[in-house]
Structure 1
Amino acid sequence: MERIQFGTLSISSCPVNQYMEKFFESSEAPDAQIETKKQESFIQALENLQNGDLDLLAMPARLLHGKQMEMYEADCQVHGARAPRTPNMVLVSENKIQYQPKSAIILCESKLIRRQLRRSRGGMRVLSPTAFIEIEKRDESLGNELERYSWMEKLRQNNEIDGYIIPRVIYSTLNISERRHTLLPDPQNRGDDHFLPTAYSDLVVLVGRKNYPNKNAKLFSEIEGETVWKIQNHFIGEMDENQLNGIGILTRHRKMSTLMKQAEEHKDLTMEQAFHDLEGEANTNEVLVEFRIETISNDGKRTIAVDRVIPYSGYEIAMIATEKDWRRVIESSKIAGIDFFNN
């Protein structure tokens, strides 16, 4: 039986070690002797990969952004990925977004989600925790992720704020009893509010030495995860942090039946016709790849978005063409005097 030294690197919003432990205990786990080792930092993990103390490293894709050159210099590469499990944020509040009182105070760390909330509902005071502290002239120092969200929950319990946005997995970790309202990418009715996830949300990548057998890495990888990684890396891999924090992006595999049911419910004739021939028969039996990307102005009043649904066999070609379309739209907005990234 082959022995594999498997490292995990986690953050509170993407607990990779928990995800992999669950996978190793499942029937899908490979028939191999796996020794897991938790890593404290990306630098430490790279060193362990280089010297052979690790064969593979599972880590949040968000941590790899801007550090791929370090990975290549360590003679390592991305061998695979695992699809996001809980990419959507939740609103912790007594009320849903549309039923928030006038001038309700909602705290949110993500620039993207703050803009999505302003787009969804005017009249709310959607603030970052830092801005809230400055406005209220508080003497607070924000700690790690768990400490920050615990602090927000205390503010809500004391009725100092009306709610806050938190990753779904952290909500479960803190055992919060208040109601949660998930910010979903698919509105119940066509034209209703939607919330695309933040960049790389809950996406796990598998890093290993360049000469590590690809067949071994594939034992831990997922085809959908690899699709998500390839598309997101192609579109946003070279963005700086300011640009990245304003991007909403969603990539996922969809079944034809599920997509057609959604199109029928929303009376989306374009979607229905795109995957049926003149006789009404489905023109493909492939898995479909859905890709959506957007950026929003600071006040939430303007949105630039591109949506695509492509058969799996053609997604890489379509990815390149769609990225060119996205760049053209962004350039056109700049010509019109609208800067979505620096306003």
Structure 2
Amino acid sequence: MYKVDLKSKSAKKLKPIRFKDLELKEKFDIEVWVRKNPEILGENLLIISEQTLLPSGRQPDLLALDKSGNLVIVELKKDDSGKEVYWQAITYAANFSEFSYSDIIDMYEKYLENLGIADPNPKDKIEEFVEEDIEKINQKQRLILVSKEFHPDVLRAVLWLRDFEIDIKCIRLTPYMDENNQLFIIPEVIIPTPGVEEYIERKISKQKTIRKSYPSPFSLEKGDFTDEELKKRLKETLTRESDLTPRLIAFIKILLSDNRIFDREEIKRRLYNMGIGKNLGQTGRYLSNISQFLTKKSTPHLRQIIEFQMPRGVEGEVKDNYKVVDKYRELVKEVLKEIGEEI
């Protein structure tokens, strides 16, 4: 980087320095710069959270939304990325992938409150910023890693992850200081390499075409089992070792509590009242996991027993209006009793 004097028509080369030499810290310096000026990262982002505490005790540096409604996890380091920064960011993305739109709004509202900004309707601000259909919010997560230098292991891992369609970017922030102690910051995207995005997109498109030849785990096909086989399969499902099993049992108990259709919101509230989830947002994510399980190719017996609505009938669509098929209500109750569950 050069500092040019227009009067003398001379250029003086500035030497890069280390953030450490300036006694800067991620949270109180670099993080604040990015929070106040997210365009440093090379795109238009709406910062919605800072240092959000996860159940694990970890705190991602910044969370943002891009114009497409994708959740962007920003992880900042000072002079060296270390070897584990990409894994840390992936862990955060996995945690936040289950957040609903209401969770995003709550997070943004708390963020504004912490900054002392009174906004009566943060939802409007998000919907004004995002250019895509609001239902697409957080359907995809992106990762941005920011550091002065990146460990070679991190760069290799990031390139490999991008091959598998993980949207992850590395930005180098290089600080310079002039003779007047003025600080300059140069952001540089090093992955993906500028100018080759089109090639990468073509490569990903080709990989998608190849992967489409592999069967999807999604199915709406219902089973046609005898009562005996149905009981056997249901019993196996409700006794398998999985965190999902007790939640699925609670879900079925709700459907058996009355011979009618239950909408998603009522089921979510009742699951929460049964102790499924620490808050309604988490309960909603658990319900989504149950719904996804209902449409796996391996669970046609559940679709034979439980009806639900999916207007378009496509993978990823939100399900609603669940009901146990009348002729199987007693069969399901018998299975629950056999595995020691009270109805």
TM-score normalised according to structure 1 size: 0.23
Bigger-Rg structure (1/2): 2
Q: Larger helix proportion, structure 1 or 2?
A: 2
Where is the strand percentage greater, Structure 1 or Structure 2? 1
